[in-house]
Every structure is written in C-alpha cells, then in structure tokens.
Amino acid sequence: MLISSSNSGQRPESRWRRFFDTWLDGVEPGWAIPAFIFTFVSVWMTFLAVAYQNGDLHPDVLESWTLGRELALGNPKHPPLIGWVARAWTTVFPLADWSFHLLAMVNSALALWLVDLISRRFVRGDKRAIILLLLIFLPAYQLHAERFNANSILLSTWPLAIYCFLRSFETLSLRWAIAAGAAAALAMMGKYYSIFLIAGFIVASIAHPRRRAYLTSFAPWISAAAGFAVLGPHLWWLATTGFTPYEYAMVSHRGLSMPVASWEAAKYVLSNIGYLIFPAFIWALMIRANLRRFASDVTELNSGLLLLTWIFAATVLIPPVVSLALGSHLPPIWNLQAVFLPVLICVAAVRFEIKRFDSENLSLAVVAFFLIALVVAPIHAYYRNTTGFDWNRNFLSAAAKEMTVRWRQHSDAPFEAVSGDDALAFATAFYSPDHPYYKRPFQFQYTWGLPRRTTLDKGWAAMCFSDDPPCLTWMDRVEKLSEAVIRSEFTLRASLWGQPGVSMSVIALIAPPLKGSAVPPSSPKSGIIEDLSARRRYSEGKSNYPDGIP
C-alpha cells in the first residue's frame, strides 16, 4: 500500500505521486479541500446506495422526519433542531432514501469543512490535509453519520460552536462573542448532551493561562446572553410543557445500579480512546523518525491548542462523572463529534515538517479505503439479504405500502393515523403514499398505553412484527376495545437482484372510521401538542383515559 520512494519516472506509482503532489499543492490555493470533501460525499453516497439497496432508512432517520412535520419549539423526546432540518430539507428534496442519505453526507461534509476551518487557525498546507485524512479512519463521518438523528447532527454543530468560542476567546470581540453563544445554543437545540460542550468551554476558560483576560471581559457575558436569546423560545416551551424531554431521558436512560453505571462510564472513556487507536497508529508511522520531538511539542501547546485540549478533556471526563451520579446509560457514540479534537491537536502541535512522501502514502491509504468500501458495499447488501438488517429494515417500506393497500380495502376515508411498533409506524408515515401521522405520543413510547375509543372511531391503524411479544400483547388489548377493529397478518420477503432473502410476518390492526366520526383535515401537528395537553389533564385528575394515552 505504500508508495515507493524510487524516483523512476516509468513506475506506475510515480503517477500516483504526481497526482497526490498536485492535490496537496492545491490545499492553500483553496481547491483541494473542497475537492476532497466532494469526493468523500460521492463515494459514501455510492456506498449507501449499494450497501442499503435492500434496506430502508433507519428508524432514527424516519423519526427525525416525523418530528419535522410539526414546526414546534420542542417535542417530548428531543430538542427540535433535527426536525427543523429534516423539514427544511424536504421542502427542497423529495421523500426518498437517497434524499436522506444525501442529507446525512452533507451534514458530515459540513462537519469536515468546519474542522478544516479550525485547522486553518494553526496549520497550513499538507497538515490541513493530514488532519482530514486521518479523520476518515474514524467511524464518525461515515457509519455514525448515516443515521441523521440527534447524535449525528452534533458532528456539524459542535465544531461550529468550538470554532466560534475559539475566535471569541482569542479576540474578545462583540461579534465572535455573540456567535459563540448562538452556536452553543444551536448545539443544545440539536441534543441536550451538548451541555457538556458548554461545560468544556467553562472549564477551558477557567483552566487556560489567559483566563483573566477572557473572564474579566464582556465576551463570556455577551455569549451567555446570546445563547439564552437563541434558546429562549425553547426554554419557554420546556417550562410550559413540564420539561417532558427531561422526563423521557430519566425513564429511558436512568435506573442503573452502581456496578453497571461504573461499567458504562469506563466503556465511555475507553471507547473514546479506542476510536483514536487506528489514526494514532497511522500518525505514529508518519512521524516515526520524530517521535521524541513530537512528545516535546505536545507538551508546549500554543494558546489555541491548549484551549482545545481542555475542551476535549472536559467532554471525556465530565460525562462519566455525571453518569455515575445519576446511575444512567452513557453510550460512547454520544461523544464521537468531539474526537476530531485530539487528531487536530496532535497534527497541529508538531513544529517539524511532515515529509511529502508520508503525506502521499496517507492519501493513497484513504483512496484504498474508499475503494475497499465500494467493493464491500454489494457484499454487505447480499449478506443483509440473507441475515436481515437491524430493526427489520428489510421490510419497513414494504409493510407501509401493504398497510396502505389494506386500509383502502376497508375504508374510503383517508389513511390519517398510525401507531404500533415505532419503526413500522415511522416507516408508514414516511413511505405510505397517504403519509398518515404518527399517533403514538413520544412521552408514552415505553408504556404501551391504549388509545382512546374516540381515537379508534376516527380511524386508526397499527402494525407489529410477529416476533415482538410486547407489541403483540398490546395489540390483543387494543383489539378488545372495539368490535370494529380488523386484525390481519401478512408475510413479507426480502429480495436482492432476483435472489429471495429473509422473511418476516407482520400483524396489522385497522379501525376504519365510523360514520359521523370522520377524520378532520390533515394537520401538521401530528398529535404532539394535543397529547401533552391531555397528559397534563390526566396528571391533574381531570381525565380518565386508559393507561395514560389520549
């Protein structure tokens, strides 16, 4: 895989050397990094198109689109940014798998561009390219990015906030202070986990040798004011809806014993280190003759790199402490958006020149990685055709279309409401030509409560996979609510390039609307605000709907 050091003009590898020389020479003129990012997006769009040819969108992506059907200030599960972005995206692009694959890769491309924006504060030329090339060997910008959700959106919002904070700390200017606060608030609107990024800013500003200049200036107070101004409408929403996302987080992530929570915290720290092993190994090979100088250079970081070091240290060390205190889950992927920092710091710290020969070898390794991914893509698709995707992604769109056909067989009314298994419900909302609204309230996703009789009378449907006992038990209870409920079962089989694959049975319930109980015209609200109001009435003893579901 390494390029020969021979200068023979007849060797094929010399053509590769000239190609990479030209590309690396184009970093500072300004065309090489955009060309690389465009190539990255093109390669991974091709990979996703082939590798997931027989797999529908991940339920997280379908959920993001569902959230975006209502342009609300919040929702009971996540902050609103992912829904807003999905809604804006689909005003331009169609509802299709490729469209959301493109959204995921554009988000990843934006993340890489912002990382390069930070890199320019410290390095030039080959080192800028090296930072991005090393990041390609992290799982963050391809596999993690494929699911456009509350985690992956942080890939772009975190480096944006870090860049603005860095500029504010350096300049103490009004505009960068405002930008830092607004960008941090934007990260919070992506996921509340971003509170740890803000904690990193606080720790870094206190621990940095220039803390006095920053903390005695107006910059931190202006940033705080700008952040609260951007977050203000969402904070108002939280206060008026009883902080339901916090309640969701407590239900879904807390309750671990101390030994289990300790293991979660340890896995978090070890995984953040583990993500960096392969890029660190490659970097060590590149500077193998200067390892002692590297060790000396990283102990003498300049002001900006020291600030970034404190930010990263805080994002790795504070979350496990909080997790232990709360007894909560702490998935390591929640910090993948910060792992670019040690890569950037290590490359930018070195004061010696990186040999062009080693930069070319790294470039060739990334090209080889891209080619391997494209070769693996059809193998992955074939393997998943016979073993199945997680979340039964082989069957989601087919189940949605089959349910639509069955609805139309039993009712002339529009197909407006769907519930049941989350993956199937989200998929039906997305893939069905009728695009029914997801009617299972987010705050009740883990309770399997029953719909009200009036909900069934207006028209409603649900699906469960046949291998999901909790969902099927819930269906049995729903079926007893009304004699008008129709139960059916159908089997779906995956196929790829004419080859039959795995199969799965789906149980469906259909409650056609009763005469005189027609479903009102479609509304973009998808029942979320109404559900919150009903939940408050229930908590106040003013409603007696079964199991807390309106």
Confidence (pLDDT) at 391: 92
- How far apart CA 229 and CA 299 sit, in angstroms, is 39
Q: Are residues 270 and 205 in the same domain?
A: yes
Q: Are residues 293 and 399 in the same domain?
A: no
C-beta separation of 509 from 461 below 8 A: yes
DSSP state of 533: H
Number of domains in the chain: 2
Amino acid at 119: S
CA angle 155/160/162 to nearest 5° reads: 100
Query: Does a structural domain hold residue 433?
Result: yes
Pairing of strands 417-420, 460-465: parallel
Confidence (pLDDT) at 532: 33
Q: Are residues 250 and 108 in the same domain?
A: yes
Q: Are residues 283 and 417 in the same domain?
A: no
DSSP state of 26: T
Range of the domain at 479: 391-548
Cα separation values, 294 from 183, 349, 420, Å: 33, 8, 56
C-beta separation of 404 from 447 below 8 A: no
Q: Are residues 364 and 447 in the same domain?
A: no
**Runs of H (alpha helix) within 56-147:** 59-68, 81-90, 97-119, 126-135
Query: Does a structural domain hold residue 119?
Result: yes
Contacts 24+ apart (CB under 8 A), 138-142: 138/275, 138/276, 138/279, 138/336, 138/339, 138/340, 138/343, 139/275, 139/336, 140/275, 140/336, 140/337, 140/339, 140/340, 141/40, 141/108, 141/111, 141/112, 142/44, 142/47, 142/108, 142/373
Token pair 């493109």 in the structure block, residue: 102
Contacts 24+ apart (CB under 8 A), 317-323: 317/269, 318/196, 318/199, 318/200, 318/203, 319/193, 319/196, 319/268, 320/264, 320/265, 320/266, 320/268, 320/269, 321/265, 322/196, 323/261, 323/264, 323/265, 323/268
Last residue of a domain, one of 313, 345, 378: 378
Last residue of a domain, one of 318, 349, 378: 378
- How far apart CA 391 and CA 358 sit, in angstroms, is 42
Q: Are residues 397 and 368 in the same domain?
A: no
Q: Are residues 370 and 461 in the same domain?
A: no
C-beta separation of 80 from 67 below 8 A: yes
C-beta separation of 403 from 486 below 8 A: no
C-beta separation of 330 from 319 below 8 A: yes
Query: Does a structural domain hold residue 70?
Result: yes
Token pair 């240290």 in the structure block, residue: 313
Read off the pLDDT of residues 261-313 as tens digits, 9 standing for 90 and up: 888 899 999 999 999 999 999 999 999 999 999 999 999 999 999 999 999 99
SS3 for 255-295 is CCCHHHHHHHHHHHHHHHHHCCHHHHHHHHHHCHHHHHHHH
- How far apart CA 215 and CA 206 sit, in angstroms, is 8
Last residue of a domain, one of 355, 378, 401: 378
Confidence (pLDDT) at 257: 81
C-beta separation of 208 from 303 below 8 A: yes
For the packed helices 97-119 and 32-51, what is the interaxial angle rounded to 10 degrees? 150
Q: Are residues 262 and 119 in the same domain?
A: yes
Confidence (pLDDT) at 453: 85
CA angle 43/48/52 to nearest 5° reads: 155
- How far apart CA 229 and CA 33 sit, in angstroms, is 35
The sign of the torsion formed by the CA atoms of 253, 59, 430, 187 equals positive
User: CA nearest 459: which of 419, 425, 431?
Assistant: 419
Structure tokens at 470: 């909790």
Query: Does a structural domain hold residue 225?
Result: yes
* Positions of the chain with pLDDT lower than 50, given as ranges: 1-10, 516-550
Query: Does a structural domain hold residue 109?
Result: yes
What are phi and psi for residue 350, nearest 5 degrees? -70, 135
Q: Are residues 412 and 281 in the same domain?
A: no
- How far apart CA 34 and CA 236 sit, in angstroms, is 40
**Runs of H (alpha helix) within 350-494:** 356-387, 396-410, 422-431, 453-457, 469-479
Cα separation values, 543 from 267, 453, 548, Å: 44, 14, 9
Structure tokens at 83: 């829904």
Token pair 């953040």 in the structure block, residue: 272
Query: Does a structural domain hold residue 5?
Result: no
Q: Are residues 412 and 298 in the same domain?
A: no
Q: Are residues 127 and 245 in the same domain?
A: yes
- How far apart CA 199 and CA 254 sit, in angstroms, is 21
Query: Does a structural domain hold residue 1?
Result: no
Query: Does a structural domain hold residue 4?
Result: no
Q: Are residues 372 and 413 in the same domain?
A: no
Cα separation values, 506 from 300, 464, 489, 494, Å: 62, 6, 6, 13
